[in-house]
Amino acid sequence: MDQITDPSSIEREAANPPAPRKSWGIRAATAVIAAAAIASGAYFGLSERHDVKAAIPPAAAPVVTVSTPLQHDVDTRMGSLGQFSAIDRVELRAQVGGTLTEIHFKDGQMVRKGDLLFVIDPRPYEIRLAQANAALQTAQARVALANNQLSRASSLRRNEFATQETVDQRTSDQDSAQATVEDAKARVRDAQLDLEYCRVTAPFAGRIGARQISIGSLVAGSRAAASPTTLLATLVSLDPLYLDFDMSESDYLTFSRERARLPGPLANKVSIGLSDENAFAREGTLDFVDNAIDRSSGTIHARATVPNHDLFLAPGQFARLRVSVAPPSPVLLLPDAAVVLDQSQHLVMTVAADGTVAPKIVETGDLRGGLRVVRSGLEPGDRVVIDGLVRAVPGMKVAPQDGAIHYDAAIDGRG
């Protein structure tokens, strides 16, 4: 019996025919072609980048400026920090009591030796002096009487009208009267001294400070050191001044060895620069070194005398100082910027003959003529990088250019 086909199903199959199936061989061929395309693209990409790299020229060596160290004769110096102090300083205190009646200066004024500063009411002491003079005259009258009595007793004794005992008595009276005269004279001098102390004068030239008492105040004074007295003012000398400083033990040893080897004014000269000055414009004379090193600080005290004719310096000011301890000798000098601080060491970058940068450890000194002293670690023929230091990498080759180092004598000793 024939199968009857549904016409609707035939129409659906005609409208949506089934997709044809690919064989495994076709799929494999397609995958191989795709892989080959990818590999070819990667190959051509790498080849292109390699060609670009090969086309870039190698980088040029960095340019730096080099120079051999400058050789110059400089002396050996020792630097320190000091403080000025007055050679003479005194507290003016009353040595007699009484009422202050006169003040003859202005606070902070310069005074000369012997200038009158204060006056204490002298009237009580004038009275004491008058009394002492009167007592002296009485004692002198007694001496005259004792002399006459002794003369008469001696005459009577020669004529045997008086005993020896009477003569001895008259001699004793004469000695006692003479002693009374000497005591009266001492009292007169004591009263005169108190009267002189009523006028307080400047014991030396200098600048006086602010007065500590006003006119009309009661002054307590005594010549005895243990008795309390009234402070009137303070006076300090200004020309010259002392400059006190301390030397370390190592500096003291260097100073002592050089001074023993080269005695003379070289070791005594001190150059001084104030805190707001760049140069050491003032000079002094080293005239005192203490006799022992302080055990607690390991330093020894020293002192220089500094002229102060313009009275610009004042006690208590600080100053930088340096002492020349050896005559000039040749040293190597470099710009300070050419020296690199690496932790606790100082380095300079040198350039070899083939252009390779090599660091060298050096020992440096102070600044001279705007340049840094190199004490050791460097040879006179070394080519040192003085400009372009940031481009001088150790072990790297550079393109050196010759430069020059200049010594500026006008700023010698600054810093």
Q: Domains in the chain, ordered, with CATH? A: 65-73+329-411 (2.40.420.20), 77-86+240-327 (2.40.30.170), 93-121+198-236 (2.40.50.100), 122-197 (1.10.287.470)
As a whole number of angstroms, the distance between CA 25 and CA 27 comes to 5
Beta carbons of 165 and 145 less than 8 angstroms apart: no
- Identify which has the larger pLDDT, 57 or 300: 300
- pTM (two decimals): 0.63
As a whole number of angstroms, the distance between CA 112 and CA 205 comes to 4
As a whole number of angstroms, the distance between CA 360 and CA 22 comes to 79
Looking up tokens 């199903």, which residue turns up?
A: 9
Confidence at 195, pLDDT banded by 50, 70, 90: very high
The torsion angles phi and psi of 385, rounded to 5 degrees, stand at -75, 120
Mean pLDDT, the chain, whole residue set: 80
Q: Which two tokens stand for residue 252?
A: 């003291």
361 forms beta bridges with 347
Looking up tokens 């607690």, which residue turns up?
A: 296
The yes-or-no verdict on residue 323 having pLDDT over 80 is: yes
- Identify which has the larger pLDDT, 48 or 61: 61
Q: Convert 149-171 to b/e letters by CB count within 10 Å (16 or more is b).
A: bbeebeeebeeeebeeebbeebe
E strand residue ranges, 180-268: 199-201, 206-208, 218-219, 231-236, 241-248
Q: What would the pLDDT profile of 229-249 be if each residue is shown by its tens digit?
A: 889 999 999 999 999 999 888
Beta carbons of 388 and 64 less than 8 angstroms apart: yes
Residue 121: Cβ-neighbour burial (10 angstroms; 0-12, 13-18, 19+) = middle
3-state helix, strand, coil in the chain (%, to 5): 35, 35, 35
Confidence at 15, pLDDT banded by 50, 70, 90: very low
Least confident of 204-218, 319-333, 394-408: 319-333
In the chain, pLDDT over 90 holds for what percent of residues? 29
Residue 240: cis peptide before it, omega within 30 degrees of 0 = yes
The yes-or-no verdict on residue 20 having pLDDT over 70 is: no
As a whole number, mean pLDDT of residues 87-94 equals: 92
